Amino acid sequence: MNASSVVTAAQRVAQWRSAALPWISLAALAALPFLLPSPNFVRLLFTTFLWVTASIAWNLLGGFAGQVSFGFAVFYGMGAYTTALLMNAGVHPIPAFMASAVTAALVSLIVGVPAFRLRGPYFAIATIGISEAVRVVMTNLRFTGGASGYRIVEHRPFRQLEHYYSALLLAAIAFAISALLVHAKFGLGLQAIRQDEDAAADLGVNPYTYKLAVHALAAALTGIAGGVFARYAAFIHPGGVFGFHTSVHILLMPVIGGIGTVWGPVLGGFVFGIVEEEIVASFPQVHLLIYGTLLILIILFEPGGILGGLGKLFRRFRGKR
Amino acid sequence: MTLVDFTSLVVSALLLAGIYAVMSVGMTVIYGVMKIVNLAHAGFMMLGAYFALELFERFQIDPILAAFLTFPAMFLIGGVVHWVLVRRLPHSDEPTLPSLLLMFGLWLVLQNLGYLIWGNTDRSIFTPRTLSVVNVGPIAISTVRLVVFVAALVCLALLQAVLHYTWFGRSVRALIQNRYAAIITGVYEDRTAGIAFGLGIGFAGLAGGLLGSLYSFDPDFGRAFLIRAFVIIVLGGLESISGVAIGALVLALVETFSILFVPAGYQLAISFGLLALVLIVLPGGIASLLAKARRLA
């Protein structure tokens, strides 16, 4: 009786801590531009939030449902172009972002509908195929300027903080979705599919619709991130937003942080977002080489990423004491 | 379109199919034995092309011969890669998340090593053969394409012979059909998989060397061909060697004739469209169609 009440008290503290951590982080990040009002620092955090959003989105599909995608640049780029076209047509940014989400989700069906009906490597293969195909089409498309890119003209004063808070809000929404999903029926179904698709199907989870739904959700989040980026950058081109490296970045972040966890992709996104520009600036020739090596090393030696590694260290430390 | 035009398009599609088959067959062997999608195939094809180029420029070796010399070198590299990296992956009957990410990382590494070593300028292998033509009646055939086609056929025939008449080939086919049963009957899985992986990489390098005689290339050269190889092996049913030949022919015909209707810049989009179509209409690939026909007969 006594022991059980002690356990519940400890559990309550742990619960309270895990519930408070996101709010504290959010408040800290919201206050940060006032503590360190440097435009460059704010811009770095702004892009980091977009990376975190894309990283969380990739993890919904890759980490929870176990479906590896190499083509998230498609959604990022589609979102960016949708927002750009609509804003130039005079639409307010917020409905433009929503339209980006819808476009990206619709594009996700082009791969999902044929590939998710089958088990095996088809989905991963198809994502590489569509990202190449879409970039080729966008490079040749006349009305978006083709390879020379597309410029966005916004007839309102530029306020960096507005961009900052929209990116922060987006990342917070993505995190909330991911955190609520793990314990919801939908998220549990996805994890069941990852562990054993036959068993999941026997228990009444339809793998096809579940995968389609989570793919569309991840695409929508990534699409909005692309839209927010396009509005800030005011210029986009197929080699950037649809670039191969964009897909590489988006899949690398959750792998670094820890696939299949709630905090892993956030951590990976922050680490990557903050060091990425440094790495590109110091090693312009070999940064993708570094990422590739990192990917190989993580998969072979610490598949749990930073979170997995920290957990191991923590357990070893506690065990020794 | 006249009959002559039509015939020359069919001939050029056929010549293309040969090299497409060589480039995809290595991927099929690796997938069949290990259930690993070799995303690094593109990187190894690029290495093969540069290897042939270096042999040609430094030692004046004929590029076709150089492509054949690429095979043993890439075979060894493949064996080492298997021993160092691929062996450590968890075994599975389905492609796993770690295997996909590992091979993807390997592709990134190879591609960017290529940029580091050879820079990003386009290179090409140019011989007197490159621009010459053989006339067969009213149809003109590029000599180098013909030579590459013959070389491709020779390689495919050799591979078929190895797979059908050697113990190694039997163990490979046994592993493709049923991994557990093969292990029970005494197939040494690790060693067979290692050799099969080397064989697959060797074929990637060989295909790269041959493609290097046909097209200009840079370190990102394999990517467009990687997607074509995917389409071909999915068309072929992923694990069937003879399916690859038919898949290669189908893709080559579609690509060649699509030039009549769609600008050449959109060819990759056509490959993807074909992939989506096959997944919807014929998920088991042509091999399943053949099996069905056999059952009905």
Picking from A113, A118, A299, the nearest residue to B283 by CB comes out as A118
B262: left (phi over 0), alpha (psi -120 to 50) or beta: beta
Q: Residue A189 falls within a domain, yes or no?
A: yes
Set of chain B residues whose Cβ sits within 8 Å of the Cβ of A114: 275-277, 279-280
With respect to residue A164, please indicate whether it lies within any of the assigned structural domains: yes
Q: Could you identify the residue written with the tokens 């307010």?
A: A92
Closest chain B residue to A109, measured at CA: B276
Q: Where are the alpha helices (DSSP H) in B215-265?
A: 222-236, 241-258
The mean predicted confidence, pLDDT, of chain A is: 87
The 3-state DSSP class for residue B179 equals helix
Provide the number of structural domains found in chain A.
1
Q: What is the pLDDT of residue B135?
A: 80
Contact A236, A243 (CB under 8 A): no
Q: Which residue in A113, A122, A300 is closest to B88 by CB distance?
A: A300
Q: For residue A10, is it within any domain?
A: no
Which residues of B fall within a CB distance of 8 Å from A303?
A: 98
Numbered residues of chain A with Cβ closer than 8 Å to any chain B Cβ: 62, 66, 68, 70, 110-111, 113-115, 117-122, 124-126, 128-130, 132-133, 136-137, 139-140, 244, 248, 251, 255, 259, 285-286, 288-289, 291-296, 299-300, 303
CA-CA distance, A133 to B262, in Å (whole number)?
14
> Range of A44's domain?
39-276
Residue B238 has pLDDT above 80, yes or no: no
Q: Is residue A205 part of a domain?
A: yes
CB-CB under 8 Å, A62 with B85: no
In the predicted model, what is the mean pLDDT of chain B? Answer: 86
Q: Is residue B5 predicted with pLDDT exceeding 60?
A: yes
Residue range A114-125: mean pLDDT, rounded:
84
Question: β-pairing, A235-236 with B139-142?
Answer: unpaired
Complex confidence, ipTM: 0.85
Residue of chain A whose Cα is closest to the Cα of B31: A121
Place of tokens 């995917």: B230
Least confident of A248-252, A260-264, B175-179: B175-179
Which residue in chain A has the smallest CA separation from B227?
A129
Q: Which of B104, B113, B234 sits opposite A122 (nearest CB)?
A: B234
Q: What pLDDT, on the 0 to 100 scale, is given for residue A1? A: 44
Tell me how long chain B is: 297
Nearest residue to B36 (alpha-carbon basis) of B105, B118, B93: B93
Strands (E), chain B: 133-136, 139-142
CA distance A10 to chain B (A): 36
DSSP B265: G
| Residue of B28, B89, B101, B258 to mutate when probing chain A, most A C-beta within 10 A | B101
CB-side neighbour CA atoms (13 Å) of A177: 21
Residues in CB range of A284: below 8 A, 6 or more apart = none
> What pLDDT does residue A6 have?
58
Q: Is residue A12 one of the residues assigned to a domain?
A: no
Who contacts A227 (Cβ-Cβ below 8 Å, separation ≥6)? A79, A80, A82, A83, A93, A96, A97, A100, A101
Q: Has residue B201 got a pLDDT over 90?
A: yes
Helix (H), strand (E), coil (C) string for chain A: CHHHHHHHHHHHHHHHHHHHHHHHHHHHHHHHHHHCCCHHHHHHHHHHHHHHHHHHHHHHHHHHCCCCCCCHHHHHHHHHHHHHHHHHCCCCHHHHHHHHHHHHHHHHHHHHHHHCCCCCCHHHHHHHHHHHHHHHHHHHCCCCCHHHCEECCCCCCCCHHHHHHHHHHHHHHHHHHHHHHHHCHHHHHHHHHHHCHHHHHHCCCCHHHHHHHHHHHHHHHHHHHHHHHHHHHCEECHHHHCCHHHHHHHHHHHHHHCCCCCHHHHHHHHHHHHHHHHHHHHCCCCHHHHHHHHHHHHHHHCCCHHHHHHHHHHHHHHHHC
User: Would you say residue A285 lies in a domain?
Assistant: no
Contacts of A140 in chain B (CB under 8 A): 263, 265-266
Task: Give mean pLDDT, residues A64-77.
Answer: 92
The two beta strands, B133-136 and B139-142, are antiparallel
pLDDT tens, A276-305?
888 888 877 778 888 889 899 998 888 888
| Token pair belonging to A261 | 């966890």
Residue B109: its chain A contacts at CB < 8 A? 289, 292-293, 296
Q: Are B266 and A137 in contact (CB under 8 A)?
A: yes
Amino acid at A8: T
Non-local (6+) Cβ contacts of A86 within 8 A are: A95, A96, A99
Residues B249-289 pLDDT 10s: 999 998 888 888 877 777 778 888 888 888 877 777 777 77
Which has more confidence, A242 or A36?
A242
Using CB atoms, pick whichever of A111, A113, A124 lies closest to residue B100. Answer: A124
- Separation CA A218–CA A68 (nearest Å): 12
Torsion of CA B74, B75, B77, B82, to 10 degrees: 140
CA pair distance A182, B52, nearest whole angstrom: 52
What pLDDT digit, counting tens, does each position of A36-50 carry? 778 888 889 999 999
Using beta carbons and an 8 Å cutoff, which residues of B are at the interface with A? Answer: 31, 37, 39, 85, 88, 94-95, 97-98, 100-102, 104-109, 111-113, 115-116, 223-224, 226-227, 230-231, 234, 238, 263, 265-266, 268-269, 271-273, 275-277, 279-280, 283
C-alpha span between A280 and A273 (Å, rounded): 11
Q: Does residue A130 surpass a pLDDT of 60?
A: yes
- Least CB–CB distance from A133: residue in B109, B234, B272: B272
- Of the given ranges (A14-18, A137-141, A227-231), which has the lowest mean pLDDT? A14-18
Q: Distance from B148 to chain A by nearest Cα, in Å?
A: 26
Position A158 in a domain: yes
Instruction: Give the separation between CA B157 and CA B164, rounded to whole angstroms.
Output: 11
- The answer to whether residues A302 and A296 touch, using CB atoms and an 8 Å cutoff, is no
Domain membership of residue A303 (yes or no) is no
